Chains A and B, each alone.
Chain A
Amino acid sequence: MSAVIDSHSDDHHHGPAKGITRWLYTTNHKDIGTLYLWFSFLMLFLGGAMAMVIRAELFEPGSQIVSPEFYNQMLTNHGLIMVFGAVMPAFVGLANWIIPMQIGAPDMALPRMNNLSFWILPVAFGILISTFFMEGGGPNFGWTFYAPLSTTYAPPTVTFFIFAVHIMGASSIMGSINIITTILNMRAPGMTFMKMPLFTWTWLITAYLLIAVMPVLAGAVTMMLMDIHFGTSFFNAAGGGDPVLFQHIFWFFGHPEVYIMILPAFGIVSHIIETFSRKPIFGYTSMVYAIASIAILSFIVWAHHMFTVGMPIAGELFFMYTTMLIAIPTGVKVFNWLSTMFKGSISFETPMLFSIAFVALFTIGGLSGLMLAIAPADFQYHDTYFVVAHFHYVLVPGAIFGIIAGVYYWLPKWTGNMYDEVLGKTHFWMSFISVNITFFPMHFVGLAGMPRRIPDYALQFADFNMVISIGAFIFGLTQLLFLFIILKSIFAGKQATSEVWEGAKGLEWTVASPAPYHTFETPPEVK
C-alpha cells in the first residue's frame, strides 16, 4: 500500500513542551520516569509519616497519641502506600528512565499507554487517601486485607479501596506490558539477550511476574466485592466457602509481589558494584539464571506466609522445602557480588556505599527469612515483630537502599550535575546506622513474643521499643536530607561528564549528561 508519509520528522525532534501540559500530555520516557520517581518520593514521605505515627504510638507502652482504630488505619495504609505507592512506582520510574537508554531504544514501545499507566496512579492513591475523610474511615485491615476483616468487618469505604486496587493493578499491568515489549522488541541491533544489562534483565523478569500476578490480585479483590455487596460466599464458610481461600489467592499474588519489589534492586546493585569495583560483574550468566530461578520458584512458595492457618502436613512440608530452595539462587547472587568486589579496585562513592549495605543487610533479611521458612519454628515467630524485622530488612535496606543507590548512580545523568558527595555520604551513614537501630531490635522483641499490629505491648518490651522509635525518627528525618541533596543537584553542582563514573559501562553512559530529551533515535550498533 502506497501511503502518504506525513511530514512527521518535525515531531521526532521536538523538545519538551512548556508548562503543566508537558507533564500531563507527555509521551517521553524520561518525563514519565521523572513523574514516577517524584510521585514515589511523595508517597515515601506520606507512608513514612504514617510509620512515624506508628512509632510515636509505640514509643512507650500504653495508649499514647492515637486511638487503636486510627492506629489500624495508619498501619494498613503505611503498608499499602509503601508497597504500591513508593517501591513499585520508583522501580517503574527507573525502568522508564534507564531501560530505553540501556538498550539503545528511542523511547518506550507504547508511549501513550506509558503516560496512562503513570497518571492513573495518582488517581488510585488520591481515592485511597480520600477514604480517610469518608464515613467509617480508611482501610484498617492490614495491607494483606485478610477476609473476613476486609469483608464482614470492613468499613464501608472498602468498596473504594477495592476499586483503587484495581486501578493500581491496571497501572502495573500496562507498565509491565510496555516494559516487556520495549525489551523484547526495541533492543539495539547486536544486543542479544545475553549481552543485555542486568537491570534490564531483572526488569524483564519482574514485568513478567507483574503481568502474571496483578490479575490474580484483581480477582481476589473482585471476590471480596462480590462477598460484601452481592451475597456470594467465596470467603464465608457458612455458604461452603473458606476464609483461608482468600489467603491462598492473596499470597499467590503476594509472594511474587515481594520479588517484584526486590529483583530490580538486584539489577541496580549489580551495575553499581561492577562500576565501583572497576571489574565486570562476576558470573553474568549465573546472575541471569538465578533471577529466572527466583521468579519461577516464587510461584510455588506462597503458603509459607500461612503455616499457622491450618494446612495438611504435606502442604507445610512442600512449602517449607520450596521456600528453602530460594536461598540457592539468592546465595548465588550474593556470592557473585562479593566475587565482583574481590580484588577489585574499589572506591566508596555514595551509590557504592548503599550497594554494599544492600548486600550485607539484605542478606540479614534473607537469613531471617530462612528461619521463618522452617514450618515448626514459624509457629513461634508467626505474627511477631520477628516477621516485621524480616520484611523490613529486605524492603528498607533492601529495596529502598537499592532505589536510593540507583538514584545516586544515575542522578548526574538525569540532572547533568554531580550531587554533593559529602552530603551523600552523610545521608548514607545516618541511614545505615538508624535503619539498624530501628529494625535490628525488632528481632529480639519478636523472638520474645511481641505481637505485630497491636498498638500496645507488655512492659518488658518498653526499652527496646523506645530504641526502635528513636531509630525510626532519625531514619525518617534523614530522608529529608536526601530530598535536599536531589534538589541541590538539580539546581547546582559540579558539571557531570558523559561517563559520570570512571569505569561505568553501558549505553546510558555514552549519551551526554544531562541526557538529551531524545536519545538513540538512530539505534547504536552493539558489538
Chain B
Amino acid sequence: MSDQSSYFVPASSRLPIWMAFGLMLFVLGAGYTINDLDKPDSNSYWILIAAFAVIFSVFFFWFGEVIKENDKGMYSDQLNRSFVMGMQWFIFSEVMFFFAFFLALGYVRIFAVPWLGGEGEKAISNMLWPGFEATWPVMQTPDQSLFQGPKENMNFPGFANVGHWLPFWNTLCLVTSSGTITIAEHALKKGNRTSFKFWMVMTLILGFTFVYLQGLEYYEAYDHMGLTLGAGIYGTTFFLLTGFHGFHVCLGAIILTIMTIRGFRGAFTKEDHFGLAAGSWYWHFVDVVWILLVLVVYVF
C-alpha cells in the first residue's frame, strides 16, 4: 500500500478526449438516425455504430488502466474511498433519473387523468373530450383516433392467477438474484472462490432470465394485447418505466458478467474487490427500483 499522504494523480491521459469524441459521434449518430427513421435508405446509423465502438473501447482501456494501476499498488485507501463515493453518488443520480419517471406516473394518475375525466377544479379540461371516462389503466384514451387504447393491460390478476403473471416470476428472479450476489460477495470475503464463482453464475442466470421474461412480456404486449408505446398514457408510462428499468438491468448484467469473467480469471482478493462491490450495489439498486415499479406500475 502506498503512503496515505500521497494521493495518486495520473499524469495525463488520452482516454477522456477519446470518450468525448465517442460521445460526439453518439449525439450525431443518434440524432441523425432518429430523425431519419422514416427514410429507409438512410445509413446514418453507421455513425451510431462507430460511436458505440469508440465508447466501448474507451471503457475497456479505461477500466483496464485503473485495474493495472490498482494492481501496481498505486492507489491509497484514500483514493479507494474516492471511488466508493463516486459510485454512491452516481447511483444517487440514477435514482433521481427514475424519480422523474415515477413523478410523471404519479402526476398522470393522481391529477391529469382524473381531471380529463371531469373531476375536481380542473373539470374544464373535460370539455375537450366530454365522453372520456377516467379509469386507470386508461383503456380508452381521450382521442382514440390518435392514440388507440390497449385491449388488455398488465395489472395484477389476483392471487389465483399469479402463476401466469410474468411480473411475478420477474420479481422472483430479481429478488433472488440480489440474494445470490450477496452470498457470492460473502464467499469471496471468506476466500471461498468456488462458491463465489458458483453464486456469481447463478446471479447471471437469474439476471438474464429476467431480461428474457421482460422481452417475452413486451412481445405479448405488442402482439396480443394491443399495448404499445402509442397506446396512450398507460402504454407510455408502462413501457418507459419498465423499459428504462430493463435497460438498467441489462447494464447491471453486463457489469456482473465482466466481473464474473474477471473472477474466473483470478481477479479480486478478500480485501480488494471494489469492481465487484460497485457492480453489486448497482444490482441492488435495480432490484429496489423494480420492487417500487411492481407496486406502482403493476399492482396498485
Q: Which residues of A contact B (CB under 8 A)?
A: 1, 3-6, 8, 11-12, 14, 17, 21-22, 24-28, 105-107, 109-113, 115-116, 119-120, 123-124, 126-127, 156, 159-160, 163-164, 166-167, 170, 173, 176-178, 180-181, 184-186, 211-216, 218-220, 222-223, 225-226, 229-234, 236-242, 244-245, 248-249, 252, 310, 312-313, 518, 521-523
Contacts and interface: CB of A to CB of B under 8 A. Distances in A.
A177 B84 CA distance: 11
A18 B271 CA distance: 40
Contacts of A124: 27
B122 interface: yes
Contact of B85 (A164, A173, A180, A220): A180
B229 interface: yes
A73 B114 CA distance: 37
19 contacts: A3-B73, A11-B11, A109-B86, A112-B16, A119-B17, A120-B23, A185-B82, A216-B99, A216-B103, A218-B97, A230-B229, A233-B141, A233-B147, A233-B233, A239-B147, A240-B233, A241-B236, A245-B112, A252-B100
Contact of B74 (A5, A115, A234): A5
Given A177-B86, A232-B230, A249-B103, A12 B78 contact: no
B103 A248 contact: yes
B138 A159 contact: no
Contacts of A164: 27
A220 B100 contact: yes
Interface string B212-234: 00000000000000001110111
B13 interface: yes
A168 to B, nearest CB: 11
A232 to B, nearest CB: 4
A135 B11 CA distance: 43
A240 B141 contact: yes
A194 B112 CA distance: 46
B6 interface: yes
B15 to A, nearest CB: 6
A522 B6 CA distance: 7
B240 A242 contact: no
A115 B13 contact: yes
Given A21-B12, A237-B142, A216 B234 contact: no
Interface string B114-155: 011000111011001100000000100111001100000000
Give the 4 A-B CB pairs with smallest separation, nearest first.
A219-B100, A3-B73, A240-B233, A231-B230
Chain B binding surface SS class: helix
Nearest to B7: A106
B160 interface: no
Contacts of B229: 226, 230-232
Nearest to B17: A24
Chain A binding surface SS class: helix
Contact of B233 (A25, A186, A239): A239
A220 B100 CA distance: 7
Contacts of A225: 34
A163 B74 contact: no
A121 to B, nearest CB: 9
B171 to A, nearest CB: 24
A228 B83 CA distance: 38
A12 B85 contact: no
B232 A239 contact: yes
Nearest to B101: A219
A523 B272 CA distance: 26
A478 B272 CA distance: 56
A231 B228 contact: yes
Given A116-B19, A242-B111, A522-B5, A181 B82 contact: yes
B89 A111 contact: no
B104 A223 contact: yes
Contact of A240 (B74, B96, B120, B142): B142
Nearest to A225: B34
Given A214-B96, A249-B100, 13 more contacts: A25-B16, A107-B7, A109-B82, A113-B16, A115-B17, A120-B20, A124-B27, A163-B26, A177-B85, A212-B92, A225-B34, A237-B125, A245-B107
A112 B94 CA distance: 21
Contact of A219 (B2, B97, B228, B272): B97
Given A240-B142, A522-B5, A163 B236 contact: no
Nearest to A22: B12
B269 to A, nearest CB: 6
B89 A181 contact: yes
B241 to A, nearest CB: 11
A106 B27 contact: no
Contacts of B233: 233-234, 239-241
Interface centre among B16, B116, B141 (most CB of A within 10 A): B16
Contacts of B30: 159, 163
B92 A211 contact: yes
Contacts of B103: 216, 248-249, 252
A10 to B, nearest CB: 8
B24 interface: yes
A27 B104 contact: no
Contact of B34 (A166, A213, A215, A229): A229
B265 interface: no
B72 A119 contact: no
Interface centre among A28, A181, A213, A252 (most CB of B within 10 A): A181
A66 to B, nearest CB: 26
Nearest to B122: A310
Interface string B278-289: 000000000000
A153 to B, nearest CB: 16
Nearest to B146: A238
A26 B234 contact: no
B27 A160 contact: yes
Contacts of B17: 24-25, 115, 119
Contacts of B72: 3-6
A456 B17 CA distance: 45
A312 B72 CA distance: 62
Contacts of B37: 229
A216 B234 CA distance: 21
B93 interface: yes
Contact of A238 (B26, B122, B143): B143
Given A223-B240, A241-B112, A116 B20 contact: yes
A232 B23 contact: no
